[in-house]
Amino acid sequence: MRHHLQRKSHGRLTALFALVTVLAASFGATTWSQALYIVTGVEEAAIVLDGSQEAPDLGSRMVYTGSGRSGFDIMLTSGQTVRIERDGQTESVRCKTETISQLLHRMDITLSPLEMVAVDLSEEELVISISEDITFYEEVSEPASYETVRVANPDMLKGEEQVVQEGVDGVRTSVYEVVWSNGAQISRQFVEELDSTAVDEIIEYGTASPEPEEVSGNLGTPTVAKNADGSGTLTFADGTTLRFSSAKAMTATAYTAGHGGADYTTATGTLVDVGTVAVDRSVIPLGTKLYIVTNDGIVYGTAVARDTGVRGNVIDLYYNTYRECIEFGRRSCTVYILE
């Protein structure tokens, strides 16, 4: 069913003003409207304006009459059913080929000074509500700024970011709840977004921690701070710190490749070099990182348990020459199991 908006003549306006309140425009914190009808439930394309006068802005579904020589009214089709709701009372009538103003006049309905007329065109039966308080929902198209979405990337280091999708502004269709009371719009609140052409900007940020630099070699004699559970921290003169889970009192010996049956490769398949030590794997698992200091002050330094060939609480330290092995001999030592 199509409902037409008709431009009224000055004579019709005179009769209209006797039926409805027309409020003077006042601009400020509260929006006052020269409001006759609030039209809901229809696309703008379904409203046809008759006449050459510039059409009012129907984006808010507000059809108004001005205090000048002409205004707008809704033309009804003969035989159409109209339901009129007012003060909890409902009355259904068949309309003639007439405007809503003429229908209200024919029904002997006189509006009080602050009443408004809401027209719902969403159903086959047109609904006219007369009230001092009217709430309706308005769909509008409006500019939509893109949003920025941040996504964690565990493969990137902390502090690193990269834009993987550029944001693009667009247009969105939004629903607002609009409340009018006593001829004044008192609120207009966003309800929901139906759709949007805006494209989110996606930024990935890193969450991975950088791998700590491998500390190796002889760092010197550390200052040892132990915890109650046997763990602790080794602190060196240059400020380097190493955390250990436990400390073992062991006997240290020395070996080199080519003497005493020692090979050039370890039990784990690596080439022997300084920092390689042989252990009893039931005492110290292969691959364990260590820091070794003898009780008489010789610092072997960082080492990795890569070789076997000893039994019990003994650790065999690799040196490059046989002379170094002879000079080292057999000594008591502390072996710190590094974390």
pLDDT digits (tens, 9 = 90+) for 133-167: 878 777 888 999 999 999 999 999 999 999 999 99
Task: Quickly count helices (H) and strands (E) in the chain.
Answer: 3, 24
Strand partners, 332: 251
pLDDT average, residue stretch 289-304: 95
Q: What is the pTM of this model?
A: 0.43
Give residue 52's pLDDT.
39
Give residue 72's pLDDT.
57
Q: Which residues, other chains included, contact 91 with Cβ-Cβ below 8 Å and sequence gap of 6+? A: 83, 84, 107
Q: From the CB of residue 68, how many other CB atoms can be counted at a distance below 10 Å?
A: 10
Strand partners, 203: 150, 163
pLDDT higher than 90, residue 311? yes
- The set of long-range contacts for 12-20, using a CB threshold of 8 Å and a minimum separation of 24, is 12/73, 12/99, 12/101, 13/65, 13/69, 13/70, 13/71, 15/101, 15/105, 16/65, 16/71, 16/73, 16/101, 19/101, 19/104, 19/105, 19/109, 19/110, 19/111, 20/101, 20/104, 20/111, 20/115, 20/117
Tokens of 339: 């974390």
Rounded Cα gap, residues 110 and 115, in angstroms:
10
pLDDT average, residue stretch 267-278: 94
**38-47, 89-98, 250-259: the lowest-pLDDT one:** 38-47
Q: What residue type is assigned to position 236 of the chain? A: F
Q: From the CB of residue 245, how many other CB atoms can be counted at a distance below 10 Å?
A: 14
| Three-state helix/strand/coil letters over 241-272 | EEEEEEEEEEEEEEECCCCCCCCCECCCCCEC
pLDDT higher than 60, residue 183? yes
Give residue 14's pLDDT.
23
pLDDT average, residue stretch 177-199: 86
Q: What residue type is assigned to position 134 of the chain? A: I
| Three-state helix/strand/coil letters over 141-172 | EEEECCCEEEEEEEEEECCCEEEEECCECEEE
Are the C-beta atoms of residues 304 and 276 closer than 8 Å to each other? yes
Rounded Cα gap, residues 120 and 293, in angstroms:
91
Cα 13 to Cα 8, 17, 37, 103, 271, distances in angstroms: 7, 6, 14, 15, 105
For 15-31, the pLDDT digits (tens) are 222 222 222 222 222 33
Give residue 87's pLDDT.
86
